[in-house]
Amino acid sequence: MESVSENRVHIGNVIRNAITFDFKKSQGDAVSTDNLIQNVDELFNLLDERQIDYLLVGGIALLQYTEGRNTQDIDLIMAVSALERLPEIEIIDRNDNFARGRFKELQIDLLLTNHPLFDKVKTEYATRQQFVEKTIPCATVEGLMLLKLYALPSLYRQGNFARVGIYENDVATLMQLYRPALLPLFAEISKHLSATDLKAVNEIVEEIQQRITRFQQRSEHNQK
């Protein structure tokens, strides 16, 4: 699927701007932004040099399909065996399915293919997108939606209102712009969620569909 805009996404600038204008960060937590653009180039060059099989997901991938998304980190899907070939990434936290690390000044969030849904997205919901830095393996609209919908029940349980709002808005924007077929997505995600969580995701999507319908009706009314 093609990018929403002919303007190529500059990953380094996106991350640098997000960190620079994050006014919630205290001075003591501030990250030096001077080398971020170079660090992004170095990271993706390293992935290519090591012939790492990976997929870009998260906010940076989303910017290939929507505008205005803000993110301070890089999200990748890869196998544990691939991660072990990247000692340059300092692992801060890790469990069976997720890892968080740093590459110089960059925060890297990793979804590990131990989880069957993450492996499925990496292998079957992947395309290649042109960024300013280079052409990068990137999740499709449907792949991004699967990951967002899968994460939402857990975010609700954590009481993470801010991230719930971001993820639901991401899903709503993709649904409104691209009209992806939902039945295949629910067929896939049902393999990875409990019945309770699947019901919750269905309710979320129904609410989003109602929002989209309301938006379209009001937009058409205002154009008359």
pLDDT for the residue 6: 60
Pick the closest to residue 136 from 50, 39, 9 (CA basis): 9
Q: What is the pLDDT of residues 50-102, one digit of tens each?
A: 999 999 999 999 999 998 788 999 999 999 999 999 999 999 999 999 999 99
Closest CA to 64 of 120, 1, 20, 133: 1
Range name among 29-38, 134-143, 148-157, 209-218 with the lowest pLDDT average: 29-38
Please give the pLDDT value at position 2. Answer: 44
Give 77's Cβ-side CA count (13 Å radius). Answer: 25
d(CA 211, CA 175): 11
pLDDT digits (tens, 9 = 90+) for 116-146: 999 999 999 999 999 999 999 999 999 999 9
**Residue whose structure tokens are 């993820």:** 167
Q: Average pLDDT over the chain, rounded to whole?
A: 92
Model pTM above 0.75: yes
CA distance 150 to 145: 8
Confidence of residue 43 (pLDDT cuts 50, 70, 90): very high
Query: How many other C-beta atoms lie within 10 A of the C-beta of residue 82?
Result: 19
Domains of the chain: 1-139 (3.30.460), 140-224 (no CATH)
Contact 100, 110 (CB under 8 A): yes
